[in-house]
Structure 1
Amino acid sequence: MEYATATDLYAQANQQWREAIELDLHSSEDIVYAIMPLLAQSLSLEPDYLPSLDLLSDMLMEIGAYDEALEFAERLHDLAPDETDYDHKLAALVGEENHRRRLIRAYLRQKRQRLIGNPHHH
């Protein structure tokens, strides 16, 4: 895959991320840092590629890198102000300290369930 596009790289990262979630490894920094280069590469080809920005910010949120995630969330919001999912992400990240972690956890749980299409909870 010599000439991978931003979309190809995102698809690869997304697949690996889905597998990490299915194995319950989504909060592992090792896993996150292993997948991130694909998204970084995707964004180097297409800096405003929304799916990569979205996934990257989710992954940063999973490992508690909220400040970095916030930068991407703000960019998503600027690029697609009408996308309610990005609004939710931003709202969770800028929530007041006491509630922020809970909001972020709820947001991420929802995103994970959507990604692996898991209608039944454990």
Structure 2
Amino acid sequence: MSALVFAVCEARIGESWYEVASFEHGSGRHLLALLDEATLSGRGWPPEPGAGARAGQEEAQAFGATFLTGPELAVLAAADDDPITLPAWQAFARVYEDAGAAVRVVLWFV
């Protein structure tokens, strides 16, 4: 199985979630395994999804939806042998967290 990974970083601004970035990951299989090992897979779509996540929900072939908070993303990044991708996502999310916004990364696979 090969899978495309879609990842959207959302920040809660006011009462709504807004997409602030979208990311890529080189291996869907690898990321699914990391999520499983960290027991962060299979959560489904987040409550009150932003526009990017809603678009993913409408994708008929989407599967494996889950979402991560900043601290969970840090755990996942620490477990990954790729020193760039997930730490970069984490650093980007931390900018919004440091500004006082709630942040999450919504992931799904196609």
With the length of structure 2 as denominator, give the TM-score of the two structures.
0.29
More strand by share: 2
Relative contact order, higher structure (CA 8 A, sep 6+): 2
More helix by share: 1
With the length of structure 1 as denominator, give the TM-score of the two structures.
0.27
